[in-house]
Amino acid sequence: MPSTAELPDDPRLPALAAIRDRLGQVIPERELGDGPVEIRLCNHVPGSRATFEVRTGERRLALKAYAEDPTPEAELYRHLARVGLAGVSSARVPRLLAVHPTLRVLVMEWLDGPSLSQLVRRGDGERAGRLAASWLWHASRRRVKRGPPCGTGRLLYQVGVSVAALGASDRDLGAAAKVAAKSLVRSQPRERSVGLVHGTLYARHILDLGDGPGVIDWQQFGQGPVEVDAGMFLATISRLALRHSDAAGAAARAEETFVSRTRGLVDPLALDWYRAAGLLHLAASGLKTGLKRFVPPEAHALVAEAARRAAPAGAAPAFVFPETPRPFARIRSAFTIRSRTPSLVHPVGPAATTQPDPDKARGIGGTKPR
Ligand SMILES: Nc1ncnc2c1ncn2[C@@H]1O[C@H](COP(=O)(O)OP(=O)(O)OP(=O)(O)O)[C@@H](O)[C@H]1O
Ligand SMILES: [Mg+2]
């Protein structure tokens, strides 16, 4: 029996009581072996989910306890395994080892490697950009028709929730977010083909497995255009650069590499729209679930970037934060006609037709970064 010190109290997650009672009810004995078992809490969102790393002798597993039935997510992992996306090499998701619909728990293979946000923080932005692009190419080659719609409609709904949450914590920020949201409503991209999207493709959800990207946490998967995931990935890269100024250079390289390696797959104009929606979502993260009471320090900059990206080409965002320093620069910027996308590096021009994953041709890193 492992120590239960790491088990939070959360009556909405029935798996926790079962683990306390007997771990074998949750993880099949064949996966546990005879040796000592260690459980480490990775994340807990009260009332929603808890994630654990389970170590048993040589084995390492991921265990996710949910408040809602995780069967759809479990079925997705099974399906991705059938279409070759849960193998032992190349791009993959964790293999599903067990599912308990009544205890609402999934047991999965542990994928070993640093996350792309860790790569960027260590200075290896180029590799992070390559791995994220590689994932999108691999995923785009499979026709997976599962999951609810996850396009402009769902994102605009999320944007509305974000605006309300930001406004409840900070009036000016809420007003600025509203301006960005209105631009998004006016400039919705036409949806091209849709396919499987992760829905929360944050840099921390992609791992560097040495021979390809590993993508975890598919709880929000759905059907949408590829720009949903590309936009969210880049929104998290923007946030990383804001949170860690020493990583700004590596973040710029991650963006540059990602954008150049997804040329022909991702439409740059639609990408701006989805990225803006992602930025608003990140600005309000924690506020929407009630986990945080105060806006994160980078929220103003995230909303400002969202407003710039959401503004239709040639238009300047109308809102200026009252507390922004340097009034002349501020007033000038409010009237400046600017072209779209003040990106670190961002190609313009229409998306070309499909081209092969450059990683395939060049063989993405055989070794893990130090
Ligand atoms: N299969 C896995 N392989 C390796 N690491 C994992 C795996 N599953 C979870 N983790 C680790 O646990 C962390 C939390 O997992 P996950 O993102 O699935 O949970 P979450 O509750 O949705 O977290 P968050 O709200 O931060 O996204 C991950 O960032 C990762 O470090
Ligand atoms: Mg997660």
Residue 257's pLDDT is what? Answer: 98
Specify the higher pLDDT residue, 363 or 52. Answer: 52
Q: 204 alpha carbon to ligand 1 midpoint, in Å?
A: 8
Ligand 2 ion: nearby residues, β-carbon < 5 Å: 217
Specify the higher pLDDT residue, 28 or 178. Answer: 178
pLDDT (mean) for 320-342: 37
pLDDT at residue 208 above 80?
yes
pLDDT at residue 349 above 50?
no
Specify the higher pLDDT residue, 364 or 157. Answer: 157
Residue 89's pLDDT is what? Answer: 92
pLDDT at residue 72 above 50?
yes
Specify the higher pLDDT residue, 359 or 346. Answer: 359
Q: Which atom of ligand 1 is nearest to the CA of 48?
A: 21
pLDDT at residue 315 above 80?
no
pLDDT (mean) for 34-40: 89
Q: Which atom of ligand 1 is nearest to the CA of 200?
A: 27
pLDDT (mean) for 192-221: 97
* Nearest-CA residue for atom 23 of ligand 1: 43
pLDDT (mean) for 56-67: 93
Mean pLDDT of the chain: 86
User: Using a 6 Å CB cutoff, which residues line ligand 1?
Assistant: 42-43, 45, 49, 51, 62, 94, 108, 110-111, 204-205, 216-217
116-362, CATH topology level: Aminoglycoside 3'-phosphotransferase; Chain: A, domain 2 (3.90.1200)
Question: 12, 43, 112, 205: which to mutate for ligand 1, most atoms within 8 A of CB?
Answer: 43
For residue 61, name the pLDDT band (cuts at 50, 70, 90). very high
pLDDT at residue 123 above 50?
yes
For residue 33, name the pLDDT band (cuts at 50, 70, 90). confident
Spatial contact of 130 and 83, defined as CB atoms under 8 Å apart:
no
For residue 368, name the pLDDT band (cuts at 50, 70, 90). very low
Residue 252's pLDDT is what? Answer: 98
* Nearest-CA residue for atom 2 of ligand 1: 110
pLDDT (mean) for 130-151: 96
**Boundaries of CATH 3.90.1200.10 in the chain?**
116-362
Q: 219 alpha carbon to ligand 2 midpoint, in Å?
A: 8
pLDDT at residue 305 above 50?
yes
For residue 6, name the pLDDT band (cuts at 50, 70, 90). confident
Q: Which atom of ligand 1 is nearest to the CA of 110?
A: 3
pLDDT at residue 336 above 50?
no
Q: Which atom of ligand 1 is nearest to the CA of 45?
A: 21
Residue 333's pLDDT is what? Answer: 33
Specify the higher pLDDT residue, 368 or 276. Answer: 276
Specify the higher pLDDT residue, 317 or 259. Answer: 259
Read off the tokens for 150. Answer: 């996850």
Specify the higher pLDDT residue, 331 or 192. Answer: 192
pLDDT at residue 36 above 50?
yes
**Boundaries of CATH 3.30.200.20 in the chain?**
14-109
Q: 205 alpha carbon to ligand 1 midpoint, in Å?
A: 7
pLDDT (mean) for 336-356: 35
Q: Which CATH superfamily is domain 14-109 in?
A: Phosphorylase Kinase; domain 1 (3.30.200.20)
Q: What is the pLDDT of residues 183-196, one digit of tens each?
A: 999 999 997 789 99
Residue 32's pLDDT is what? Answer: 83
For residue 320, name the pLDDT band (cuts at 50, 70, 90). low
* Nearest-CA residue for atom 12 of ligand 1: 42
SS (H, E, C) the chain: CCCCCCCCCCCCCHHHHHHHHCHHHCCCHHHHCCCCEEEEEEEEECCCEEEEEEEECCEEEEEEEECCCCHHHHHHHHHHHHCCCCCCCCCECCCEEEEECCCCEEEEECCCCCEHHHHHHHCCHHHHHHHHHHHHHHHHCCCCCCCCECCHHHHHHHHHHHHHHHHHHCHHHHHHHHHHHHHHHHCCCCCCCCEEECCCCCHHHEEECCCCEEECCCCCCEEECCHHHHHHHHHHHHHHHHHCHHHHHHHHHHHHHHHHHCECCECHHHHHHHHHHHHHHHHCCCCCCCCCCCCCCCHHHHHHHHHHHHCCCCCCCCCCCCCCCCHHHHHHHHHCCCCCCCCCCCCCCCCCCCCCCHHHHHCCCCCCCC
